[in-house]
Amino acid sequence: MQETEQAVDFKVAAQLGLNKDEFDKICSVLGRVPNFTEVSVYSVMWSEHCSYKNSIKYLKTLPRDGGRLLVAAGEENAGLIDIGEGIACAFKIESHNHPSAIEPYQGAATGVGGIHRDIFTMGARPIAALNSLRFGDPNHPHMRHLIKGVVSGIGDYGNCLGVPTVGGEVYFDACYQQNILVNAMSVGIVKIGETISACADGPGNPVFIVGSATGRDGIHGATFASADLTENSAEDLPAVQVGDPFQEKLLLEATLEIIKTGAVVGMQDMGAAGISCSTSEMSAKSGTGMIINLDLVPTRQQNMHAWEMLLSESQERMLVVVHKGREKEITAIFDKWDLECAQIGEVTDTGRLEYFRHGQKVADIPAFSLVLGGGAPVYDREYTRPAYMDEIKPYDPPAPADTELVSIAHRIMNSPNIASKRWVYEQYDHTVRTGNTNTNDPSDATIVRLKDTDKSLAVTVDCNSAYVHADPYIGAMIAVSEAARNIRCSGGIPLGVTNCLNFGNPYNPEVYYQFVHAIKGMGEACRKYGTPVTGGNVSFYNQSVLKDRTEPVFPTPTIGMVGLVEKKEHATTLSFKKEGDHILMLGALPNNADGSVYIREIMGQRLTACPEFNLDSEFKLHEVISQLIGASMVASAHDVSEGGLLTSLTESAMAGSLGYNISLPAGVRKDIFLFSESQGRIVISVNKENLTKTEELLDKQAIPFIRLGTVTSPVMTIDGLDFGACLLYTSPSPRDGLLSRMPSSA
């Protein structure tokens, strides 16, 4: 049966998301007008999701090497960091925003599956998962549906796969009402020298497709992820992939087993753009080509067209290049695990991708022309400072009476972005197959022990999008700094960053301004902390297209950071340990409450300035807290972030089933002191034996600090005011002691 295709002109190309210049460039590269299969391949490979055509110029300005980085940023499916003793950590974060907004369960589930495949494709075993979730109004019926689906999808996939979800964050804001954000991070471990590259070396070597059969799910998923969500986006449901975690578990084990044989030349996960992406990227990386016979690809549906097979984003599939003559070793292992394993082609020395269907050549494309860093287009968009930023002014709220502070504190602690997320994480298995130490005593970052060593990983995801919206440059710096601060407070040293950059439409000059300046701020902070950006994901077009306007989400550059805790005894938790311990706040006194939950939610000033921040002071504080922890001088450490000092104190008290009695410094505005989110501050508790030594070290390093008071029984007292009692239990979350819950119907 011969493939019959419609004729191609610019009108057809435009329907696939290509502009006139891009279509002309394709014609120039091929020396002819492309056929429908070829233009379909270009449309997905040159989509924003695959090519980063509107972002790569600025991504390249981020620090991309140095430190313990073992592979350059973007070289492989995930970042790779040397953590000592011959062990490396592979890690990456990616988005699955648009699919989750349309079909929340499968969208979130396949996001988890995809990020784990990026890790084990390199030869690393995933040991931990994290996520960053952004939703709209949790009381809205449709938003409840989305929340329930996303959380269930993440939990079910991870639980079935046997990879614990050990950390994350959940935020609610009206800007995400139509376009939610679902960012998933995976962390894995591998011995140095036992990794596999995503390359296709060796002409004549056979090419295998392994794992699930290919279906029509996810076709044009990359294109779908590179366009606005609209009221009609539900019609794009076929662009959402369908996951099978049980299949992925088999694929994980089979993949790690075939790597040990030494028969594998290279391997790549089939995510966005499916076969077209994996064949082109693996070939381009090696300067080779491939001949692919699509008739040999196992399929789930009959009569699939060549372009459907090439673009399908069916999950749980890999492309594997094997040393010639060792095919039987590979097929035997996949047979043992009851997985499809079919040879579909071979590597060539032509540099071209030649796809065949029903005995005819249906596409002939230079591999290099398709890929990021090769022939894919690169744009530098114009940008303009957003008009709303000129309206942002410092806000000085009227000082409340002392008696009002208690009710304000309760409102802050019960606000959706501060209150307990127990209803989320209890759906995740956070203990299976792991050395997660945060189960009973939480830390600012999650601590995951590494078996057979004295080391642990400290991992976290962080971003306050309200800060980035107020000032993209400073807000992005804060996101990196908070991640680093969380790792330092947990006893670790930051090693590397992966990012998931969630923004609106890059063709909007104000959105692009946010993107460019967030990159600049992120880069400056990463260079300060010595944390190279190992890779990640850019997700544009996150906005709501309404009848009378388009509203981008708050710029949300989510930071995933990995750190190393060298010795078990350095792992530090945030919980107060015993009555009588002294409580100190490190860092300068706050001057205002800009950017805080207090200003935004309690005082109703949604458009507010960024919190106070100084990168040099922040870095110095990080160095000193590491010195204190290394010298075993602190009982607990917890950063001051969302909700301010009162929230930090209360979280430390709740986690330890204790309380506190503190006195505020003379002359301070009590509401500002308690609720400000000014950065560069840490709360520590110190026993009386270490108090003098701690204060001497802080004085020597010129770190400002104040004694706040002492740890007490489970009653919280501030300047004689009773702020209530903590609930007497501990849990994996620092915010668990709160009575606020997502309603059971959610």
Catalytic residues: 49, 96
Strands 360-366 and 340-348, bridge-based pairing = unpaired
Tell the residue number behind the tokens 């020597």, with chain if given.
Answer: 700
Whole-number Å distance between alpha carbons of 451 and 139: 43
Cβ atoms < 10 Å from Cβ of 84: 13
195 three-state secondary structure: coil
Burial (Cβ within 10 Å: 0-12, 13-18, ≥19) of residue 439:
middle
87 three-state secondary structure: strand
Query: Among candidates 158, 218, 150, which has minimal Cα distance to 181?
Result: 150
**Phi and psi torsions of 88, nearest 5°:** -120, 150
Q: What is the four-CA torsion angle of 99, 100, 105, 109, rounded to 10 degrees?
A: 80
23 three-state secondary structure: helix
Instruction: Yes or no: say if 611 and 679 are a contact pair by the CB < 8 Å rule.
Output: yes
Instruction: Yes or no: say if 412 and 647 are a contact pair by the CB < 8 Å rule.
Output: yes
DSSP letter for each residue of 595-634 = TSHIIIIIS---S-PPPP--HHHHHHHHHHHHHHHHTT--
Query: Among candidates 561, 535, 560, 537, which has minimal Cα distance to 75?
Result: 535
Query: Among candidates 569, 426, 583, which has minimal Cα distance to 490?
Result: 569
**Phi and psi torsions of 338, nearest 5°:** 60, 45
**Phi and psi torsions of 525, nearest 5°:** -65, -45
Cα distances (Å, whole numbers) of residue 222 to 8, 53, 68, 642, 706:
21, 13, 32, 34, 52
Query: Among candidates 353, 315, 348, which has minimal Cα distance to 215?
Result: 315
Query: Among candidates 529, 503, 507, which has minimal Cα distance to 626?
Result: 529
Burial (Cβ within 10 Å: 0-12, 13-18, ≥19) of residue 388:
exposed
Cβ atoms < 10 Å from Cβ of 67: 16
Cβ atoms < 10 Å from Cβ of 256: 16
Residue 44 amino acid letter? V
- Judged by phi (left if over 0) then psi (alpha if -120 to 50, else beta), residue 95 lies in beta
Residue 547 amino acid letter? K
Partners of 58 in beta bridges: none
Query: Among candidates 118, 85, 260, which has minimal Cα distance to 188?
Result: 118
Partners of 544 in beta bridges: 229, 551
Cβ atoms < 10 Å from Cβ of 633: 17
Instruction: Yes or no: say if 645 and 711 are a contact pair by the CB < 8 Å rule.
Output: no
- Judged by phi (left if over 0) then psi (alpha if -120 to 50, else beta), residue 705 lies in beta
Whole-number Å distance between alpha carbons of 86 and 452: 12
Whole-number Å distance between alpha carbons of 180 and 101: 6
Query: Among candidates 467, 396, 405, which has minimal Cα distance to 612?
Result: 467
Q: Which residues does 689 contact at the CB level (< 8 Å), separation at least 6?
A: none
Instruction: Yes or no: say if 161 and 248 are a contact pair by the CB < 8 Å rule.
Output: yes
Tell the residue number behind the tokens 């010639």, with chain if given.
Answer: 324
